[in-house]
Chains A and B, each alone.
Chain A
């Protein structure tokens, strides 16, 4: 079975600073990887996904993530954070032929002026 770990529960960054949120997965074959964002009072929204091919994937809202098989990681990055990026971010892993997706415990992002 697949699993995913988000080591950082809470991160604070200054507006305009760069951001990297960590995600490590465990799965024997090539995983399907996702990043979602959850704003207060709302459901999860897909930011980006990786299935195969180019290991650097671009998503919405200026986010990108890089799949590194050797490190079993799929870290989310943004070059310059905006106050509106304050939210909770979830990494998730799926597998071929398997509908269930395993979500990480989430990282809460706080953005300070």
Chain B
């Protein structure tokens, strides 16, 4: 079975540029989560969606960050303009939804480097 698919796997760009990270959740999963992982701050939840609707975006660090889920099989996380401190590994995860007892399935992440 296909897992959560993220693209690109690596992204290197200069500060000020727009960055778009993509995620395809597991088919049939109703909830999607975006995380950021850094050495300093560990794993942080940025935003999550339920049935394509953003439920909690309190973890989004600044207005430079935005996330969309136009349909059940696709989500994007956009950073505009990007800054060096945005360098991190960004993970997307999905689960069937329905409650806190559903484990999340993670993609392999996008390693983002902002120069």
Which stretch, B63-71, B76-84, B95-103, touches the partner chain A? B95-103
Q: Is B91 an interface residue (CB 8 A)?
A: yes
User: Contact: A106 with B100, CB < 8 Å?
Assistant: no
Segment touching B, from A10-18, A63-71, A77-85, A90-98: A90-98
Q: Which residue of A97, A101, A105 has the most chain B CB atoms within 10 A of its CB atom? A: A101
Residues of B within 8 A of A112 (CB): none
Decide if B99 touches A43 in the complex (CB within 8 Å).
no
Interface range on chain A (Cβ under 8 Å from partner):
20 to 34
Please count how many residues in chain B sit with their CB below 8 Å of the partner chain's CB atoms. 22
- Whether, in the assembled complex, B14 has its beta carbon less than 8 Å from a beta carbon of chain A, the answer is no
At the interface, yes or no: A89 with Cβ under 8 Å from chain B?
no
A51 surroundings in chain B (CB, below 8 A): 101
Question: Across the interface, do B101 and A99 meet the contact criterion of CB distance under 8 Å?
Answer: no
On chain A, the residues within 8 Å of B15 by CB distance are: none
The complex places the Cα of A103 from the Cα of B4 at a distance, in Å, of 19
What residues on B are CB-neighbors of A100 within 8 Å?
Answer: 45, 48, 56, 100
State the CA gap A101–B101 with chains docked (Å): 9
Chain A 25-53 against B: per-residue CB contact (8 Å), 1 yes, 0 no? Answer: 00000001010100001111110010100
Would A101 and B104 count as touching, CB distance under 8 A? yes
Residues of A close to B31: CB separation below 8 A: 99
Query: A103's contact among B43, B55, B56, B105, by CB below 8 Å, is which?
Result: B43
Interface residues of B (CB under 8 A from A): 4, 31, 42-43, 45, 48, 50, 55-56, 91, 93, 97, 99-101, 103-109
14 contacts between A and B (CB under 8 A): A32-B100, A36-B106, A43-B107, A43-B109, A44-B91, A44-B93, A45-B106, A49-B103, A94-B100, A94-B101, A97-B99, A99-B55, A100-B56, A106-B42
Q: A42-B108, A44-B104 are in contact. List 19 more A-B contacts (CB 8 A).
A: A36-B106, A42-B109, A43-B4, A43-B91, A43-B106, A44-B91, A44-B93, A44-B106, A46-B103, A46-B104, A94-B100, A95-B100, A99-B48, A99-B50, A100-B45, A100-B56, A100-B100, A101-B104, A103-B43
